[in-house]
Amino acid sequence: MDIKPVEFDLPEHGSPEISCKPSQAWARVPAQPSTAEKSALKAEIKALLKARDAVLVAHYYVDAELQDLAEETGGCVSDSLEMARFGRESAHQNLVVAGVRFMGETSKILNPEKRVFMPDLDATCSLDLGCPADEFAAFCDQHPDRTVVVYANTSAAVKARADWMVTSSIALDIVGHLHAQGQKILWAPDRHLGQYIQRQTGADMMLWQGSCLVHDEFKAEELKMLKAQHPDALVLVHPESPQAVVELADVVGSTTQLIRATQTPGVNTFIVATDNGILHKMRQFAPDKMLIEAPTAGNSATCKSCAHCPWMAMNGLVNLRDVLKTGFDSGQGEVHVEPALGRQAYRCIDRMLDFAKTHGISGPRGQGRLEQAHQGVGPA
Ligand code: SF4
């Protein structure tokens, strides 16, 4: 396998254009307001959403209060693609995206006529950070014979250089389709997801070596021990996790697919290997089930091992209120994508949406094909 080495979790002397490294993100995670403050903030946010003709679109990994607020106010809680789709279908003129930067950008690319805001524009993603557009373009230029497929967790500039964008729900279908046509793939940025797709499809894939700093921390040896303590549990793993962890999975799938898996009949206990923000929605979907976080600790544990994304954690009630209150007038918190770049990036997203429609794949909202196809992918 060809390898393009890339640092994703940059050291202190890293790239100057990185505005918010993980340690800085943790330092900027908003303090939890008191119960009284929370209810006052929620009331204010609800009124502001109405006054601003705005809808709140939140990711499964953000604070539970924001997820509930999105649903209570007619918005949505979902994965990145469904968030963008929802924004496009919404009658509201303004979108507020509680998530990370590439999600706001994707919403803007799909909805160029709408204004898109985020509680904190510095909330980013290690996959996005680890794939700078100029280095990626140079890598693509070195391999003009390959079809460029990128994961949703990339900047608008990287998407503009790609032939296809995929989400984890549809990646296997699209890469399998391209492989059947004899195409060779250049994949970016998540190396673990890329390896997983490569193993499943047999496609010729050259992989960018990025990773998610949350999923990269799940530990296979400790997961084996946990499984031994809970032999009846189903192990749910997001494919951004390392191969050794994926090989222990009973279900490998996107966030939406993992949530659905908690409703598997006859199973009462689930071990979950993805950002622990997802547990809120899983508890709502399967209130009687026992959910156990997959281990991130162990001999090789680091300070990053908390199974929660520092950038997702930057979204809070106060900065959400602030962007609604003042950002709409000042422009603070507004997502901008240069129009020509946005039109170019739109092509690879539209190609994926068109593929999903043509092949009867409803995407993240639909029943998970990846989940269906690869249940039991575990060690057997
Ligand atoms: S959880 Fe991982 S993939 Fe998701 S936004 Fe955070 S760093 Fe990126």
Q: At what angle do helices 35-51 and 64-72 cross, to 10 degrees?
A: 40
pLDDT at 366 over 50: no
Distance between CA atoms of 64 and 225, rounded to whole angstroms? 29
Q: What are phi and psi of 225, to 5 degrees?
A: -65, -40
Neighbours of 250 (CB within 10 A): 21
| Between residues 4 and 307, the one the model is more confident about | 307
> 86-89, long-range: CB within 8 Å, 24+ apart, which pairs?
86/55, 86/57, 87/55, 87/57, 87/111, 87/114, 87/116
pTM for the full predicted model: 0.89
Average pLDDT over residues 243-254: 97
Q: Whose CA is nearest to atom 2 of ligand 1?
A: 212
Return the best residue to mutate from 275, 306, 308 for the ligand 1 pocket (most ligand atoms within 8 A of CB): 275
Closest residue by Cα to residue 109 from 170, 66, 165, 173: 165
- Count the helices and strands in the chain (H runs, E runs): 18, 13
pLDDT at 362 over 80: no
Residue 212 Cα to ligand 1 midpoint, Å, equals 5
Return the best residue to mutate from 102, 125, 155 for the ligand 1 pocket (most ligand atoms within 8 A of CB): 125
**Ligand 1 atom nearest to CA at 311:** 6
The DSSP line for 204-237 is -EEEE-B--TTGGG--HHHHHHHHHH-TTPEEEE
**Ligand 1 atom nearest to CA at 215:** 2
pLDDT value at position 378?
27
pLDDT at 71 over 90: yes
Query: Which of the four pLDDT bands, split at 50, 70 and 90, describes residue 379?
Result: very low
Q: Please say whether the beta carbons of 80 and 103 come within 8 A.
A: yes
pLDDT value at position 303?
47
pLDDT at 15 over 90: no
Q: Whose CA is nearest to atom 8 of ligand 1?
A: 125
Lowest mean per-residue pLDDT among 48-52, 309-313, 338-342, 350-354: 350-354
pLDDT over 70 percentage in the chain: 88
Residue 182 Cα to ligand 1 midpoint, Å, equals 32
Q: Whose CA is nearest to atom 6 of ligand 1?
A: 309
pLDDT at 371 over 50: no
pLDDT at 30 over 80: yes
DSSP helix/strand/coil, 198: helix
pLDDT value at position 376?
31
Ligand 1: residues with CB < 6 A are 61, 100, 125-127, 153, 212-214, 275, 309, 311-312
Residue 214 Cα to ligand 1 midpoint, Å, equals 6
pLDDT value at position 299?
52
pLDDT over 90 percentage in the chain: 78
pLDDT per residue over 73-118, tens digit each? 999 999 877 887 788 889 999 999 999 999 999 999 999 999 999 9
Q: What are phi and psi of 95, to 5 degrees?
A: -120, 135
Residue 40 Cα to ligand 1 midpoint, Å, equals 30
Q: Please say whether the beta carbons of 153 and 61 come within 8 A.
A: no
pLDDT per residue over 328-358, tens digit each? 999 999 999 999 999 999 999 999 988 988 9
Q: In what order do the strands lie in the sheet with 251-252?
A: 251-252, 234-237, 269-273, 290-293
Q: What is the mean pLDDT of the chain?
A: 88
Q: At what angle do helices 80-89 and 101-110 cross, to 10 degrees?
A: 40
